[in-house]
Amino acid sequence: MKRITLNLKIAWRSLCNFRLRTSLAVLGVFLGTFSLIVVYNLSDSLSKKTETEIENLGKNLIIVRSGIVRRLVAGTRLLSEATTLTIQDAKAIADGSSFVAEVSPSGNKAFPVRYGNITLRSVLVVGAMPNYPEIRNFRVEHGSFITADDNKNLNKVAVIGKGIAEKLFGNDDPIGKHILIFRAPCQIIGIMEPKGVDISGVDQDNQIFIPLNTFLKRFVNKDFINSVYVQVMDSNSIPIVKIQIEDILRKRHKITPEKKDDFTVIDLKDVMALKTQATSMITVLGRIAAAVSFLIGGIGILSIMILIVNERRIEIGIRRAVGSRKRDIVLQFLMESSFISLSGGAVGVLFGFIASAIILKVSELPLTISPAGILLSFIASVTVGILAGLYPSKRAIAIQPVDIIRQ
């Protein structure tokens, strides 16, 4: 223990004598650790956000969209629209698979909405069924949602999003009041809970929900719908149900084998996989940057340790002459190189967390701390310190006391 304490004191004194070189060597390790911490925290936060977005859309959900939809990392984009998806198709899907728990057909279109002197020029109005909140994991905060009687009787009632309520009514209670959707007055019966933007890029707080039959017959005068939300009993059955839906709709729409589908079946796991791939690219690039920084830091430590050995030949020779063992010399230089790397690692971890917190807050991402990032940063710092100290240690123990005395 006394030898270790003595070696620590000698190592500290030596590094203090080379402050500038030591600081530059510490900087390389700092940048590597900083990069690793930020990248891992950002990757974990993006993954957590993606999982939350998937859950917000609905549990074990498959979305059937009319027309051809391209799945993108940032959401979905409609390439071509079709008029063949109907409520009867939704019923056929429910009856055609034993793995389907619930089915909710839906239509939507943008309309101007007015209350008093306030007009919102383009609001997404969604024709929904009573089971829409359960399937989409979307709850009413105040009032009630659309009922089966509302849908059957073509009642002109509306459930508005939180954002719409704030824009039209401010702090007033909108329940029971009437708004004009295009030219049709609708009574507000509920306000949805705040939910934000979903994975498809739609702001769910700026929507208005009305009964599906009311939407089709009194607002758009059409008999086709835009989408069908299918809730599967368990996640393992999603691939099977996806194939079954495609088979059912191709038969009902009389699509021959050589023709393309006039619908798109979206598995949210596929969307999540796309976003995960984008996150993985960020992680890989960040790891490469961190590896380069650690390499530069290791070279910096190696350089300063070689310089220290060359400038302390007399000290090392005298220590060997008065009884210092080779392992004491090796331990001293390994301590010095490890101290440099661990110092850079500790400062990098601290500033990495600070930078991560700032980035995640500005980006409105969930704050996460990555244990894997901390562990890998610690291992990398120790490894760089030991590897960078091995060669200088070997050169130090090669110094012969007789040669130093002759000089």
Instruction: Output the pLDDT for position 269.
Output: 67
Q: How far apart are CA 344 and CA 397, in angstroms?
A: 27
- Residue range 373-382, pLDDT digits in tens: 888 888 888 8
Instruction: Output the pLDDT for position 273.
Output: 62
Instruction: Output the pLDDT for position 145.
Output: 95
Residues 6+ apart with CB under 8 A from 78: 65, 67, 68, 69
Residues (pLDDT < 70) of the chain are: 1-8, 10-12, 14-18, 21, 53-56, 69-81, 198-201, 269-279, 282, 407
Instruction: Output the pLDDT for position 86.
Output: 92
Q: What letter represents residue 225's amino acid?
A: I
pTM: 0.64
- Residue range 266-297, pLDDT digits in tens: 887 666 665 666 567 767 777 787 777 778 77
